[in-house]
């Protein structure tokens, strides 16, 4: 059975040159955690047919993330962008995405990356699912398709959990679940030169400015401070075997090997 899968993606800041937080085009990239979600959607389409839509909320400088999704093979890209959305926290973002989902047409599955590489909250997927009243499984590592349901698997605390989820559903995808495909040059050329990304403003979503942006956000980020990580290098002494024993002991103590 064909599926219509919607994947919510974001252009994230890959670098903060001189510690400045500026969404300039050359520091943005498609959130690496969204790429496995796109890959899962595309593989599902290849196996079962259907369509994949990518939606991104953010300023116009992030539209390239949708072009990259289209270069991967996504059928439709929608940018939700409006000056009134500036300052949206995760709840306001989820409000806008849920409204976009209601407008996009019937869908079977909505996928999210497990989190974003810049703000790192992991909240947008779950909040959007709640707003849409969808069943949700987070950190999904594999999906089996049944006609009207999915069997999904996630790993947590050393256990493998299997869920049966009715459709439509929302999933956040574990980054280690699939290796995203590389972009072919031909796909990049077509996606970027032919355009075709739809742009939706707030009015298109039936939302008022009070529901989103600064006004619709319950949280504020009054300041950003860069926190450098202190690194120091310690040399172990003694014979090589003693050094190796000591190293293993330390790694076990830190829980890095077991």
Q: How far is 48 from 3, CA to CA, in rounded Å?
A: 7
- Choose the binding region for other proteins from 62-70, 100-108, 198-206, 212-220 (rule: CB under 8 A): 62-70
Length of the chain equals: 258
Is 230 a binding residue for other proteins by CB under 8 A? The answer is no
Asked if 49 contacts 63 with a C-beta cutoff of 8 angstroms, the reply is: no
Counting residues that bind other proteins (by CB under 8 A) gives 17
Is 185 a binding residue for other proteins by CB under 8 A? The answer is yes
Map the footprint of other proteins across residues 153-182, applying CB under 8 A. 182
Q: How far is the CB of 183 from other proteins (least distance, A)?
A: 4
Binding residue for other proteins, selected from 133, 157, 158, 186, defined by CB under 8 A: 186
Binding residue for other proteins, selected from 130, 149, 183, 201, defined by CB under 8 A: 183
Q: How far is 93 from 88, CA to CA, in rounded Å?
A: 6
Tokens linked to 41: 């959607």
Map the footprint of other proteins across residues 19-48, applying CB under 8 A. 25-26, 29
Is 192 a binding residue for other proteins by CB under 8 A? The answer is yes
Is 117 a binding residue for other proteins by CB under 8 A? The answer is no
- Choose the binding region for other proteins from 103-111, 167-175, 187-195, 240-248 (rule: CB under 8 A): 187-195
Tokens linked to 189: 């050329």
Q: How far is the CB of 180 from other proteins (least distance, A)?
A: 9
Which residues contact other proteins by CB under 8 A? 25-26, 29, 63-64, 67-68, 71, 182-186, 188-189, 192-193
């Amino acid at each position: 059975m064909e599926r219509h899968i919607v994947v919510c993606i974001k252009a994230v800041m890959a670098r903060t040159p001189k510690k400045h937080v500026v969404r300039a085009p050359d520091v943005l990239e498609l959130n690496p955690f969204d790429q496995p979600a796109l890959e899962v959607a595309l593989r599902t389409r290849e196996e079962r047919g259907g369509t994949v839509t990518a939606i991104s909320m953010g300023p116009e400088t992030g539209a390239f993330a949708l072009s990259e999704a289209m270069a991967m093979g996504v059928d439709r890209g929608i940018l939700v962008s409006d000056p009134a959305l500036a300052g949206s926290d995760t709840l306001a973002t989820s409000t806008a995405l849920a409204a976009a989902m209601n407008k996009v047409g019937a869908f079977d599955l909505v996928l999210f990356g497990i989190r974003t590489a810049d703000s790192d909250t992991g909240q947008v997927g779950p909040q959007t699912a709640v707003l849409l009243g969808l069943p949700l499984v987070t950190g999904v590592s594999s999906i089996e398709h049944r006609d009207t349901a999915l069997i999904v698997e996630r790993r947590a605390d050393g256990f493998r959990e299997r869920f049966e989820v009715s459709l439509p559903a929302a999933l956040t995808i574990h980054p280690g679940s699939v290796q995203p495909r590389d972009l072919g040059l031909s796909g990049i050329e077509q996606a970027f030169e032919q355009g075709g990304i739809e742009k939706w403003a707030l009015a298109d979503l039936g939302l008022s400015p009070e529901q989103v942006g600064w006004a619709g956000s319950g949280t504020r980020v009054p300041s950003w401070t860069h926190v450098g990580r202190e690194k120091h290098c310690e040399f172990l002494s003694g014979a090589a075997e003693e050094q190796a024993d000591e190293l293993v002991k330390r790694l076990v103590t830190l829980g890095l090997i077991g």
